[in-house]
Amino acid sequence: MSVKKRGRPAAGAQLSAELIVETAKSLMKSVGKVPSIRQLAATLDVDAMAIYHYFKNKDAMLEALAVSLISDIYEPTGDGSWQSELMQLAHSYIDLLLHYPGLLQTLLSMKTISPAMVFIERFETILQPLQLNARNKKDSLDLFVDYLHGFALSMNCNNDCERALKTDMIKGPLTLYIKMLEGLTD
């Protein structure tokens, strides 16, 4: 039986903030919820206090985890039309929420906005050619995010295989949403 040292990791130890976040991502994907600090510590074979050497509290670790996950969604390239880039952003975000159960609840309950800012920056980059005024930009973002969150929640709740929602089912509603955005520029 190995004895875990308490507190700060030993000099030369392989523990890092990046390893903690990557381990949390892996656990979240397999367990279906955000891991506790104890679960992380057990998986990493360290004392829980060693994690607090890298993150001042669980909220700080959750923020790093959420930012890391959100950073994996589609990043606009400017190579395609804003419409296709918006569709790609929507699909990648829905896929992320489906592959990491518990992420949506975590995002919605967080006190910090840094994970949301990653998404917002990508959304605004995509819609930049439309030159929307501030109010229309905010309303467009709110509608888009609320729709995606509702769809992801519905997918997680629908266990009926015959009537299961599929990610490609967002195409119709998003096409209508895009037509609405195009109308704002007339």
Q: Both tokens of residue 8?
A: 């700060």
Q: How far apart, in whole angstroms, are the C-alpha atoms of residue 37 and residue 55?
A: 11
Q: Both tokens of residue 24?
A: 């949390």
Rounded to the nearest 10°, the torsion over CA 77, 81, 83, 88 is -30
Blockwise average pLDDT, block size 10, the chain, 186 residues? 48 79 94 90 93 92 93 92 95 92 87 90 96 95 95 78 70 94 83
pLDDT at residue 163, rounded to an integer: 57
pTM: 0.84
* Position 105, amino acid: Q
pLDDT at residue 186, rounded to an integer: 59
Ordered structural domains, the chain, with CATH: 1-55 (1.10.10), 77-184 (no CATH)
- Tell me the DSSP string of 17-31: HHHHHHHHHHHHHHH
Q: SS3 helix, strand, coil % of the chain, rounded to 5?
A: 70, 0, 30
